[in-house]
Copies of this chain bind each other. A is one copy, B any other.
Amino acid sequence: MPPRKKTERIAPPAKSASAVPGKAQTINDIARLAEVSKKTVSRVINQSPLVHKETRDRVEAVMREFNYTPDPFARGLAFRRSFLIGMVYDNPTAQYIVNMQYGALDAIRDSGFELVVHPCDSRSPGYIDGVRRFVQQQKLHGVMLVPRVSEDQALADMLAEIDCRYSRIASVSLDQASRMVITHDRDGAAEAADYLQSLGHRDIALITGPSSYRSAHERTAGFVEALAKRGIELPRERVVEAGYTFESGVASAERLLAGNQRPTAIFAGNDEMAAGVYKVALRAGISIPQELSVIGFDDSPLASRLWPALSSVRLPIRDMGRIAASMLLAEPAAASALAAASVRPHLIVRDSCQPPAR
A residues sitting closer than 8 Å to B (CB atoms) are 20, 23, 69, 71-74, 76-77, 82, 84, 93-95, 97-99, 101-102, 105, 112, 114-117, 119, 132, 134, 136-139, 246, 272, 275, 278-279, 282-283, 301-302, 304-307
Interchain CB contact (< 8 A) of A74 among B77, B99, B112, B305:
B77
Q: Which of A73, A82, A275, A278 has the most CB of B within 10 A?
A: A73
In the bound complex, do residue B77 and residue A102 qualify as a contact, i.e. CB atoms below 8 Å apart? no
What would be 9 A-B contacts, judged by CB atoms less than 8 Å apart?
A69-B137, A72-B138, A84-B116, A94-B94, A94-B99, A115-B116, A246-B301, A246-B304, A302-B302
Q: Give the CA-CA distance A4 to B94 in the complex, in Å.
A: 57
In the bound complex, do residue B94 and residue A246 qualify as a contact, i.e. CB atoms below 8 Å apart? no
In the bound complex, do residue B94 and residue A117 qualify as a contact, i.e. CB atoms below 8 Å apart? no
Q: Give the CA-CA distance A283 to B287 in the complex, in Å.
A: 12
Q: Which residue of B lies closest to A24 (CB)?
A: B136
Q: Give the CA-CA distance A353 to B340 in the complex, in Å.
A: 52
With known contacts A114-B138, A115-B116, A304-B246, A73–B77 Cβ distance under 8 A: yes
Q: How far is the CB of A109 from chain B (nearest CB, A)?
A: 10
In the bound complex, do residue A137 and residue B112 qualify as a contact, i.e. CB atoms below 8 Å apart? yes
Listed from nearest, the 8 A-B pairs whose CB atoms lie closest are A73-B76, A94-B98, A94-B95, A94-B94, A73-B77, A275-B305, A279-B307, A282-B307
In the bound complex, do residue A101 and residue B117 qualify as a contact, i.e. CB atoms below 8 Å apart? yes
In the bound complex, do residue A272 and residue B74 qualify as a contact, i.e. CB atoms below 8 Å apart? no
Q: Which residue of B lies closest to A304 (CB)?
A: B246
With known contacts A246-B304, A302-B302, A119–B101 Cβ distance under 8 A: yes
In the bound complex, do residue B73 and residue A139 qualify as a contact, i.e. CB atoms below 8 Å apart? yes
In the bound complex, do residue A272 and residue B94 qualify as a contact, i.e. CB atoms below 8 Å apart? no
In the bound complex, do residue B102 and residue A119 qualify as a contact, i.e. CB atoms below 8 Å apart? yes
Q: Which residue of B lies closest to A139 (CB)?
A: B73
* Residues of B close to A136: CB separation below 8 A: 23
Q: Which residue of B lies closest to A271 (CB)?
A: B305
Q: Give the CA-CA distance A136 to B67 in the complex, in Å.
A: 12
Q: Which residue of B lies closest to A279 (CB)?
A: B307
Q: Which residue of B lies closest to A138 (CB)?
A: B114
* Residues of B close to A76: CB separation below 8 A: 73, 76
* Residues of B close to A71: CB separation below 8 A: 77
Q: Which residue of B lies closest to A82 (CB)?
A: B73
